[in-house]
Structure formats: structure tokens, C-alpha cells
Amino acid sequence: MKKISSLLLFLNLFATLQAQHVFYGMTKDGGTYNNGTIFSYDLSNANFSVLYNFNDTNGKYPYGSLVQANNGKLYGMAEQGGISNAGTLFSIDPTNLVFTKLHDFNMFDGWLPSGSLLLASDGKLYGMTKNGGSYTSSCNWGNIFVFDPSNGIFTYLYDLALGWTHKPFGSLMQASDGKLYGMTLKGGIYHIGDIFSYDPITGICSGEFNFLQTSGKDPYGSLIQGNDGYLYGMTQLGGADSLGNIFLFDPLYGTLLNLQNFNGANGKWPRGSLVQNANGILFGMTQNGGVSNNGNIFSYDPNSSTFTNRFDFNGVNGNQPEGTLIMTIDGIFYGMTQLGGTDSLGNIFSYDTNTGVLTDLFDFNGMNGSHPYGDLVELGLTNTSINTLTKENTISIFPNPSNGEFSIEGNFPTDSRIEVFDMIGQKVWDAEIPQGNQAFPIKLNLASAVYSYQIRNSDTILKSGKIIIVK
């Protein structure tokens, strides 16, 4: 009887978590002005809402993804539009849908912002542009910048031309050593791409690796750090067949290993990034290739060096995915394609790794947006209808990512608790948080992975989100 009760409790928890998924994303085109949109999609009731239509003045053609900062707002970039038609940096508040343009890019501090912003451990947002900078007259190769959400200050950090690394199309990521790592499309000695690092403390930018044809060419996406500490990524044209590859990069020794070549049948031209599940398996998508040449979903197991073609898009259920998959607490992958769906203007889909079933969840039709190029974003386990702390009583978790040791800071009422769940919804840790305004230290002896958490007081969820552990 006890086992049955525990099973029912887990199933109820699983169903509750699954029902609370609300995704946010952007389309590059479509909407009222055909300049792109910001949207939300509620998985529990299949409700799709256009939250904002870009109007050129505030930006147009958002090419990357949204990212949530510590203040709860979503931040993103539009590739063009704004005062100089060089792109904009903006925020949107998911609680009241207030859109704010925060910065107009120009030819001197960078233009045509590429990829997505990175929320670093210092709470600031780092990004790159693929053009502009102080060397724009001769090189026009882009830069690295930072935006501080706490005071609204934009700071130009580094000219990528200075290190012969230029034209980044992906995003920065922060590794466990604290450095920011990125890739450029045409940088390096051979001008076919490179890996570089930027230290936000010292301001030093260093070239880490120069791609060769065999090791990779023209990296388009971003790097991720695996649970083994290595950096994993993809190039869109490198490898034995010049159709892209998966690689491993060791930041300690500066060495790169080509793990898997795409050959057309197993996919070609990957333009997004990889994602790793709790078991250490990497998942990703290719833009083309596969049975119908519309792209595919694949997995690669670094432990066994096993590549598996998981699903081939057929055009209607998806075509030419450009972004990255996200995995929610229920273990299901969600993503978008830029040309799939009934109108061939892009779609939102889910993919179940256990059954191999892909479900077309929503089709873009132009008026509600078209051609999504970025990723979906999930704001933890709750939506805005659930009671949360007021702005004057915020809770912050830092550092995040961490090695499992971090602090929770806030003003906690009586009977507050933190609960941590793994990727399939099982609670793996919980603890009581003492009442009062304080920083409460946490030490989790858990494997490297992405976990979800809830901080609650009785039936009220005070804060929820993701905890990233990298050891």
C-alpha cells in the first residue's frame, strides 16, 4: 500500500509539473509589422499568445533567444532596427508584458548582435555582435559587450578583431573556470573559425583553438560544458564530408577531438547547439539531411561513442531547425523549426525520447510570427498566475552554475523550504530554510546536470527555476 501511495504521489507531481510548462520565444519574421514577434506558449492548454510585435524603432528580426535575468525579466536582442538600424537590446517583463528598449547598437559599439545573451555568475548579461567595433573601418569583425540589469549600464568590452577572431554567430557560455567561451565563424589562422575565451575579471581575450577542415569549419552555434568538464560543440561545414561534425574541446590543454562526422544520411549542417541530459547523452539537431533532407534529431553518447539518428523531420512536422532543444523536468524535449508546419513558416514541437514520438504542437502562420531561429525558454515550473514574492522581497541564488555549493539570499517567511528535482521529476533533495532576511548556504552532493527547484512556503511557491551543477 505504501509503494502504491508513493507511486500515486509521484504521478501527481509529474502531472502537475508537466501541466505548468509555459514557454517563451521569438520569431525572426512575421507579426503585425513583419519584423518578428515575442510569444508565449502554455503547454497545459495549448494557448499561444503574441506578447509583442517588433516595429523597427524598437528593433526588428530577432535572431537569437530570450534569457531570464535574476530580476525575473526576459532579455534579448534584435539583429536590426533601432536608431542606427544596427540592432537593439531589450527586455520584456513576463508578469506585466512591459517591453523596454535598453540599448541601440551602432557601428562603434557593435552592430548586428549575434546569438543570445549569457547570464553569467556575476548577474550580468554578456553578448557579442558580428559586426562593428572600434576597428569597423578596416575590419568590421564584431565585439564582446556586457549589460548590467541592475543599473542599465551597457559596456563595450573587447574588439574581436584584435585577436584575429571575428564574425561570431553563436553565443557565449561560462565554464566552470569562470571564463566565457565562444566561437567565431571566420576567425583563426585559417579563417574558418576558432574557439576563444574571455576572462570577465581580467578582460583578457585569448585564442584557444584554430579549426582545420578535418577538425571542423565555420562553427555556427555555441559551446556547452558537459558533466565531464569538457566543452562540446558542432561546426556546420567541417569534418570528413564537409557537412559538419561534433567535437570535444579540452580547455585545460587546448586540444580538440573530432567525435562524429555528419554525412547527409545522418544529418548535415548543424546550426544550433548541443544539450546534455542527466545521463550524459548529448542531443542536437541538424538543419538539413536525414531521410527527407529536412533535418533531424540525433543523440551522441560520449561514454560509448555511439551516434543515434533519433528522428527525421518530413517538412510538415518540422523543417530546417536552427535552434537548440530544451529538456524540461518531465524528460521531454521541446524545440522549433524555421520552415515546418502547415504553412511552412515554422513550428513548435515536442519529442519524447522514450517513445520516439514527435508531436507538432503549434504552427506559425505569419500573423502570429514566422521563421523562429532561436530557442524556447521555460521560466521554471510556475506561470505568472501563481503567487510569487514581490519585487521588494526577491530571492536570488548564486553562483549558478556552481559545483553544488551555493547560497540562497532573501527574506524568508516561516516554514520555507527548498526542494530540488531531477530531470524526470523525482525529488532528490530538500531542506528547511530558517526564517528571516539572510543568505542560506546550500551544499548538494549531486552529479553534474541541470536540476529544477522550488522554494515554497506552505502552498505558495516563492521562487522556482533551474540549478546547474558542473563538477
- More confident of the two residues 83 and 410: 83
Residue-wise burial string across 152-168, b where 16 or more C-beta atoms lie within 10 A, e elsewhere? eebebbbbbbebbbbbb
Residue with cell 499561444: 48
Least trusted range by pLDDT, from 18-22, 110-114, 283-287, 387-391 = 387-391
- The percentage of residues in the chain with a pLDDT greater than 90, rounded to a whole number, is 58
Q: Apex CA 453: angle with CA 449 and CA 459, to 5°?
A: 160
Residue 165 main-chain phi, psi, to 5 deg = -125, 120
Q: Reduce the secondary structure of 81-96 to three states and give it as a string.
A: CCCCCCCEEEEECCCC
pLDDT grade, residue 135 (50/70/90)?
low
Give, as one character, the DSSP assignment of residue 207: E
Q: Which three cell numbers stand for residue 441?
A: 548556504
Contact 156, 129 (CB under 8 A): no
Angle at 185 between CA 220 and CA 76, to 5 degrees: 55
Nearest-CA neighbor of 266 among 290, 286, 244? 290
pLDDT tens digits, one per residue of 157-173:
988 865 555 678 899 99
Q: Which of 187-201, 248-262, 301-315, 380-394 has the lowest mean pLDDT?
A: 380-394
pLDDT at 57 exceeding the cut of 60: yes
> In this predicted structure, which of 85-94, 269-278, 456-465 has the lowest mean pLDDT?
456-465
Task: Give bridge partners of residue 268 from the DSSP assignment.
Answer: 288
Whole-number Å distance between alpha carbons of 436 and 318: 50
Whether the model clears a pTM of 0.85, i.e. scores above it, the answer is no
Instruction: Give the pLDDT band of residue 423 (cuts 50, 70, 90).
Output: low
Q: Kindly write down the DSSP assignment for every residue of 419-447, as one continuous string.
A: EEE-TTS-EEEEEEE-SEEEEEEEE----
Give the model's pLDDT for residue 386: 25
Check pLDDT > 50 for residue 388.
no
DSSP label of 71: T
46 CB burial (10 A radius; 0-12, 13-18, 19+): exposed
Element (H, E) at 133: none
- Quick check: 321 pLDDT over 90? yes
* pLDDT given for residue 23 in this prediction: 95
In whole angstroms, give the CA distance from residue 145 to residue 126: 6
pLDDT classification of 126: cutoffs 50, 70, 90: very high
CA pair distance 36, 371, nearest whole angstrom? 9
- Mean pLDDT, rounded, for 139-168: 82
* Distance, CA of 62 to CA of 163 (rounded, Å): 27
Q: Judge contact between 94 and 380, C-beta under 8 A.
A: no
Contact between 294 and 314 under an 8 Å Cβ cutoff? The reply is yes
Burial class from Cβ neighbours inside 10 Å (0-12, 13-18, 19+) for residue 361 reads middle
Q: What is the pLDDT of residues 403-412, one digit of tens each?
A: 888 888 887 8
- 301: Cβ contacts below 8 Å, ≥ 6 apart: 280, 281, 282, 308
Q: How far apart are CA 242 and CA 263, in angstroms?
A: 8
Residues 6+ apart with CB under 8 A from 181: 172, 173, 174, 175, 195, 196, 197, 198, 208, 223, 231, 251
Q: Does the pLDDT value for residue 136 go beyond 60? A: no
- For residue 185, which amino acid is it? L
Among the listed ranges 213-227, 268-282, 317-331, which one has the minimum average pLDDT value?
317-331
Query: Where is average pLDDT lowest: 95-99, 288-292, 371-375, 449-453?
Result: 449-453
> How much is the pLDDT for 61?
97
Q: Report the pLDDT averaged over residues 447-459.
A: 77
Q: What is the pLDDT of residues 184-226, one digit of tens each?
A: 988 888 888 999 999 999 999 998 999 998 889 999 999 999 8
Residue 458 has a CB neighbour count (10 Å cut-off) of 9
299: Cβ–Cβ under 8 A, 6 or more apart, which residues?
Answer: 281, 282, 283, 284, 307, 308, 310, 353
Within a 10 A sphere around the Cβ of 281, how many other Cβ atoms? Answer: 17
The least confident of 61-75, 364-378, 379-393 is 379-393
Rounded average pLDDT over 449-461? 74
Helices (H) and strands (E) in the chain, counts: 1, 35
Query: What is the per-residue pLDDT for 471?
Result: 72
Looking at the predicted structure, is the pLDDT value of residue 401 above 80? no
Kindly report which listed range (32-41, 113-122, 126-135) carries the lowest average pLDDT score: 126-135
Select the more confidently predicted residue: 412 or 242: 242
Instruction: Compute the distance between CA of residue 461 and CA of residue 163 in angstroms, rounded to an integer.
Output: 47
Average pLDDT, the chain: 86
pLDDT value at residue 330: 66
Count of residues for the chain? 471
pLDDT at residue 162 in the model: 57
Residue 449: all three cell numbers together: 546536470
Is the pLDDT reported for residue 10 higher than 70?
no
Report the alpha-carbon distance of residue 83 to residue 132 in Å, rounded: 15
**Residue 470 pLDDT > 60:** yes
Least confident stretch, 55-69, 375-389, 393-407, 432-446: 375-389
